Chain A
Amino acid sequence: MSGKGVDRDLELRLEVIRREHGDTVHVDQIGEVVRSLLDSIAGDISAGDLRLYREVESLAQYIHAAREEIAALRPGDIKHRFIASATDELDAIVGATEAATNEIMDAAESLESVTSSLESEAADKLAEITTRIYEACTFQDITGQRITKVVKALKDIEDRVEGLVKMFGAEYEKEGAAKDKPETPPSDQDLLNGPQLPAAAANQADIDALLASFD
């Protein structure tokens, strides 16, 4: 069989596949396309074709395994639960430190306002102390900027995971989302949630009401 003959034969087979699947093939369909290509050359296999067959088959297996591994990572969970939760927690840290810093600043400014009614030495001492408090409060700006960088990095990861989900098919996202609800009662480990976000947090009255509901 001449090289040109093989090319023409292959071109005809590809044309059949193109009619069935179009010009682009989803990753999920690669195995099927490879199978249909191999089916079309059944009974007409040379030693070279056989090598090609093995190569293509191992490639299909590799893609299938990669797909399974990515599914096991549950990209839907990464995007919808872990990253969303992490960014919410970080936003809460920024909010809480900002509120606390403003409280500290309020107190320092109140202290400073007293200096005018004090003796010189005491007033100087108090001014020195309030200056140190102001200086210490700059931490909030620095931590805020660092946390913003982390949030941006998480957003970048989220975008990449989303790209992966799109490439491998929307069902991966669904698989992740479907596993969000715990099927069994929470274990002791599951109960270690740490502080709740302000919007979802129960206050003391809520806790008291819940306890009272057991009576």
Chain B
Amino acid sequence: MNVLIVDDYKTMLRIIRNLLKQLGFNNVDEATDGAMALQMLRVGTYGLVISDWNMEPMTGLQLLREVRADPKLKPVPFIMVTAESKSENVIAAKEAGVSNYIVKPFNAETLKNKMTSVLGDF
């Protein structure tokens, strides 16, 4: 399965890529903002999106809304990984159709649990 990870911090992309590799996911692509991710999603085939929220020019929330508004992309599981931890953020993400929500800083166990709840056992 191809996984798209989206974050404007290259170090965070590297960390998530390494954690995914340890979980057995080797087909991982990276995008550094929502607009770039949307473009990649429209031309590629992905089974999961793991995205940061706070990015420019397109935020993770805007990306999520675009994904859910696109009939082809709508079913793709979308996990938000962000430092935005206010309840209003979580509610907004849920209303936009997020599959799960991870608050930074996070550990490998949390990532694994959230992925399992979204994808089932892998």
Contacts and interface: CB of A to CB of B under 8 A. Distances in A.
A145 B14 CA distance: 17
Interface string B1-40: 0000001010110110011001000000000000000000
A142 interface: yes
A59 to B, nearest CB: 45
Nearest to A146: B83
Interface residues of B, number: 16
Contact of A105 (B14, B104, B106, B107): B14
Contacts of B104: 138, 141-142
A183 B19 CA distance: 57
A145 B15 CA distance: 16
A141 B14 contact: no
A145 B54 CA distance: 9
Given A127-B22, A145-B83, A138 B12 contact: yes
Chain A interface, DSSP helix/strand/loop, else mixed: helix
A98 B18 contact: no
A88 B18 CA distance: 32
B18 A135 contact: no
A112 B18 contact: yes
A145 B108 CA distance: 21
B122 to A, nearest CB: 17
A112 B20 CA distance: 13
Contacts of A109: 18
A105 B15 CA distance: 8
B57 interface: no
Contact of B108 (A98, A134, A139, A144): A134
Contacts of B120: none
Contacts of A40: none
A38 to B, nearest CB: 56
A130 to B, nearest CB: 8
Interface string B79-122: 00001000000000000000000001111100000000000000
Interface in A120-142: 127, 130-131, 134-135, 137-142
Contacts of B15: 105, 134-135, 137-138
Nearest to B54: A145
A102 B15 CA distance: 10
Contacts of B19: 131, 134-135
B105 A135 contact: yes
B77 to A, nearest CB: 22
19 contacts: A105-B15, A105-B18, A109-B18, A112-B18, A130-B22, A131-B22, A134-B19, A135-B19, A135-B107, A138-B104, A140-B11, A140-B12, A141-B7, A141-B11, A141-B104, A142-B83, A144-B9, A145-B54, A145-B83
The 5 A-B pairs at the shortest CB distance, nearest first, are namely A138-B105, A141-B12, A135-B107, A141-B9, A131-B108
Given A135-B19, A137-B11, A141-B83, 6 more contacts: A135-B107, A138-B104, A140-B9, A140-B12, A141-B12, A141-B104
